[in-house]
Amino acid sequence: MNILIVLAHPSPDSFNHAIADTVLSASRENGHTAILYDLYRQGFDSHLTEREIPTDGVVPPEIEVMCRELRAADGIVIVHPNWWGQPPAILKGWVDRVFRPGVAYRFLEGDDGEGVPEGLLTATAAMVFNTSNTPEKRERSVFGDPLELIWKRCLFELCGVDTFYRRMFSVVVTSTEQQRKRWLEEVRIAVQSYFPAS
């Protein structure tokens, strides 16, 4: 399997990086090919240009490569912190530029973009791991867990990936080393369950 991992956190010492490293090693332990995009470290340009917007738009070579890797992915894993109920801007920009029409979705013949698009991704599953400093009960009761809606409904289901797993780890800022070790083991088990050895 080809596993695409996308990480969006500016600090290399973050728990998000530890999660992404665990996803990478768990994928490889199961015999899969894994690609890791560390968007901050790579200096990803999150700005979508006007020329890129049309389906037949002018797409820079590095974005074309990312589009091909997204289309070829058998599994997709996203790792990011919860910032104001949203992904970091750099990750939103990656979605804007890579989840392109003709790559992640298309509109059917005769549809001018007013209907529901058809998903084109062929990944068997998508996983999202988030970190937060808001207790889970408050996240759900006060804010309604907007990240679940964004990733599951607005993005992956729309683009054809129906099997979805998401886990929010909180509260990270006050977590102990032992707690983080247990969380990382949970990540490892989940990845190896959703992307088993072939």
Q: What is the mean pLDDT of each run of 10 residues along the chain (198 residues)?
A: 98 97 97 97 97 92 97 98 94 98 90 84 98 76 80 96 96 95 98 94
Return the pLDDT at 139: 66
As given in the structure block, the two tokens for residue 55 are 């389906």
- Give pLDDT, residue 143: 67
Cα(175)–Cα(127) distance, integer angstroms: 22
Rounded to whole angstroms, the Cα distance separating 114 from 111 reads 6
Distance separating alpha carbons of residues 85 and 102, to the nearest angstrom: 29
- The Cα–Cα gap between 56 and 63 comes to 14
Residue 171 contacts residue 82 (beta carbons within 8 Å)? no
> Could you tell me the domains of the chain?
2-194 (3.40.50.360)
DSSP per-residue string spanning 130-160: EE-SS-HHHIIIII--HHHIIIIIIIIITTT
119: tokens are: 């998903």
Q: Classify the phi-psi angles of 160: left when phi > 0, otherwise alpha if psi is within -120 to 50, otherwise beta.
A: left
Closest to 11 in 3D by CA, of 46, 44, 39: 39
pTM of the model: 0.94
